[in-house]
Amino acid sequence: MSVLKLDEPALAPALESLLELDQAVLDALPMGFYACDASGEIVRFNRRAIELWGRAPSLTDSAPRFCGSFRVESLDGEFIPPDQTPMARAVLAGESFENVEAFVENADGRRWVARVNVAPLRAADGSLTGAVNCFQDVTEDHEQRRALARTQRTFDLAMVASKMGTWRYTLADNICMYDENAQHLYGLSEARFLHDEDGVKEKFHADDMPLMWERVAAALDPNGDGLYSVEYRVKQIDGSWRWLSAWGQVEFEGQGASRKPIAIAGASRDLTERKRGEEREQVLMNELSHRVKNTMAIVQSLVSSSLRDAVDFESARTSVNARIASLATAHNVLTSRNGLSADIKDLVSRTVAPFEAGRFRIIGGSVDVSPQQTLAFALALHELATNAAKYGALSTREGRVDVRWRVQDSRLHLAWVESGGPSVAAPKRRGFGSRLIEEVLFGEWDGESGIDFAAGGVRCSIAITLASIG
């Protein structure tokens, strides 16, 4: 069976584009990448995938279907057959997976935790033609989370043993008595608290009360084990909300049918910082998910527009490879800053490096831009440099390019100025680069951009509102 299958008319354009990408571009990606066709055969993979798998699958061997890993297990240790992996489910059923984790065992016995993002590929008629998988080693992150969970359990036991933040709720009078530490946690000025309707509505967050009463009812069931555990928010004296974890044991009296609950004794601890950490982690995960989706959308747009504007397939392939390489450069810059931001000075320098960097004069200080702004600037600078190399200042020995920027009133103003090149005239037809810069890339951040084909050299100005970072 042919690996590339370019002679098959039913091959989806998306899969064909993936197969034709420059291998160096795929190898530059910081994560493992591979693609399967509709039969599950692996038809493309990069260097990082080989490093993570510990071996390189043979493209001429139909045996390793859906996955290049030696063995895959769930986080609970259950073996996952190759035809039930996320990649197989994407190829066979069109399912998508985001940030799914599993244990992987290599042939040499090394075990690691993989986080995968899998997307199916479809033909124009909607039929499945394969899938792509981006994956990375998150073993260290997984171990840290397990260590944090063990530490949290130890801390919980220590809190119970020390009886800090204790309380006792008696059903007969509907009164809860709090010790001094619990009074501080619950924002109370005295030990006695009446659990009537008004008091509960004033103290506990409305969104958390249904779960709290559900847990109370379950604990008070005479046929149950009497254990009570819940997390909720309580209002403080200053009106703010604090997350608490409360757990306790119901006191029963009587036996058999006469057994009835009389009180709940327990303890509480502050969960606010943990909850804030979870919220920050969720924000980061949402940002990563948004960035992956946005990058996939950008790649899809680049491939589509490059094919539409190209005069032949070879020029389209060259354009797509170069544009995706500029995205890879932007991701490398972000990775060096933990993925949260990029320094525009570093980004400009690395983006123009392939275009005779000595002919650029880069003027501006360090300015942090968000991940999505980083991708937009990388693409814009690449398009400008490519145009300059073909038709503008970089097409002659004397030509030079100034790239300068400044920040004013929380807006970044960047200027691209060419000089010393051939005489320039406005093109009769706006190219993909002009449309990309003026209509697509910077609108999300109240951006303004424009290209002036002045006789002395192309000038481009970009102004955007800097996004909040962190």
Q: Are strands 400-408 and 360-363 parallel, antiparallel or unpaired?
A: parallel
Q: Give pTM, 2 decimals.
A: 0.40
Domains of the chain: 13-139 (3.30.450.20), 163-270 (3.30.450.20), 299-465 (3.30.565.10)
Instruction: Output the tens digit of pLDDT for each of the chain's 470 residues.
Output: 233 333 344 445 655 566 666 788 888 889 999 999 999 999 889 999 999 999 988 765 556 789 899 999 999 999 999 999 999 999 999 999 999 999 999 999 999 999 999 999 999 899 999 999 999 999 999 999 999 888 867 765 665 555 578 899 999 999 999 988 889 899 999 999 998 889 999 999 999 999 999 999 999 999 999 999 999 999 999 999 999 999 999 999 999 889 999 999 999 988 888 887 777 666 555 555 555 555 555 555 555 555 555 556 666 566 667 776 776 777 777 776 666 788 999 999 988 888 887 889 999 999 999 888 888 888 888 889 888 888 899 999 899 999 999 999 889 999 999 999 998 888 776 666 666 676 656 766 678 888 898 888 999 999 988 876 55
Beta-bridge partner residues of 130: 37, 121
Sheet holding 400-408, edge to edge: 360-363, 400-408, 411-419, 457-465, 448-454
Residue of 381, 418, 388, 407 lying closest to 465 (CA atoms) = 407
> What CA–CA distance (Å, rounded) separates 212 from 21?
55
Q: Which two tokens mark 68? A: 């290049």
